[in-house]
Structures are given as structure tokens and as C-alpha cells.
């Protein structure tokens, strides 16, 4: 699968945009992780830039290519999980973006060919007591092998959520 192939793909789920409103559709597993990554305007600015330009993903070890940087609605991204030829493609499309004085980030949804089905969002907020990163996702297995893997897939999501937060903390401070 190549980045150019994603333009013709459809979403692999039908509740597009729910992470923007913190809703978890029926039948999906929810994962929410909130991490304080530092304090101050510079930390907020650097963290927001790292999220929007895919630096956080790359620093967390997710090889990703995207049609747009910074991310905009409609940006296609193609990540890869695994090593070498045994890696799995993870095609996604950005479904919403937020760029406010104290909140920046985006949500993307899975496209056909992704091992999971659902949506994930990455948002940095500036609050009175610090700068926070929130990962919110809802998903369910998208293939026979992720159904078979059950809890292993959810553990993998949690693992990558922690890697994202750790990478963002390093990039922002």
C-alpha cells in the first residue's frame, strides 16, 4: 500500500468525528490517556507543532507519511507497524482539526486496510496548572487477526499512547 492509494479508500467505520465530542459509540472500546507534559507558552507551542506536523508520531517510533503537514481535514496518513516486510499498513484520514488559543490537535479515522476500525485524537491543551496531552480513541477489531488478538490489540494501543505522550514531552521541553 502506498500513500497515493489512500485517496480512493473509504472509512472503515461509520461514526466519523465522535472523538471531537468525547463520545464513544456503542460497540467500541474506549481508550483515554491524559498526561501533563510541562508548563508554559513555549511548551504549549512546541507540543502543538509536534502533534500537527507528525513529529510526535515519528519520535514515538511510528513511521508515518502524510499528504499534508501540518495536518488539515482530509489529510491522508500512512503509518506502518512492525519491522521490514512484515509490517502492517495503518491508513488513516484526518476528520477534524482544532487550533484555538489554548487547544490544538486533530482526530483521524481508520481507512479500509487498517487492522483496527475507529478513530483516535491527539490534543494539546494549555491549562492554569500546565500543558496536557490527551489521547482519546475508540476502536474495535477491523480484521480477523485483530479479532483473534483481542486484548493484545488494546494493550498495543495503550502502549503507543504512552509512547506518544513520552515523545511529546521530549519534543516540547
Q: What is the pLDDT of residue 50?
A: 97
Q: What is the pLDDT of residue 144?
A: 58
Sequence ranges of the domains in the chain: 3-172
DSSP state for residue 40 in the 8-state scheme: S
Mean pLDDT by 10 residues, the chain (173 residues): 91 91 85 95 97 95 92 94 74 97 97 88 97 93 64 66 92 93
CB 101, CB 109: distance < 8 Å: no
pLDDT 10s digits, 104-114: 999 999 999 88
* CATH number for region 3-172: 3.30.530.20
Q: What is the pTM of this model?
A: 0.90
Amino acid at each position: 500500500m502506498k500513500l497515493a492509494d489512500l485517496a480512493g479508500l473509504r472509512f472503515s467505520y461509520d461514526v466519523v468525528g465522535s472523538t471531537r465530542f468525547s463520545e464513544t459509540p456503542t460497540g467500541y472500546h474506549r481508550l483515554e490517556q491524559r498526561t501533563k507534559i510541562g508548563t508554559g507558552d513555549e511548551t504549549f507551542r512546541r507540543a502543538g507543532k509536534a502533534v500537527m506536523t507528525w513529529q510526535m508520531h515519528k519520535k514515538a517510533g511510528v513511521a508515518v507519511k502524510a499528504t499534508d503537514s501540518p495536518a488539515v481535514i482530509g489529510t491522508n496518513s500512512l503509518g506502518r507497524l512492525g519491522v521490514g516486510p512484515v509490517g502492517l499498513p495503518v491508513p488513516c484520514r484526518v476528520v477534524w482539526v482544532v487550533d484555538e488559543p489554548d487547544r490544538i490537535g486533530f482526530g483521524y479515522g481508520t481507512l479500509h486496510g487498517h487492522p483496527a476500525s475507529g478513530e483516535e485524537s491527539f490534543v494539546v491543551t494549555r491549562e492554569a496548572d500546565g500543558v496536557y496531552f490527551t489521547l482519546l480513541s475508540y476502536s474495535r477489531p477491523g480484521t480477523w487477526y485483530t479479532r483473534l488478538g483481542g486484548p493484545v490489540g488494546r494493550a498495543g494501543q495503550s502502549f503507543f499512547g504512552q509512547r506518544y505522550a513520552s515523545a511529546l514531552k521530549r519534543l516540547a521541553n
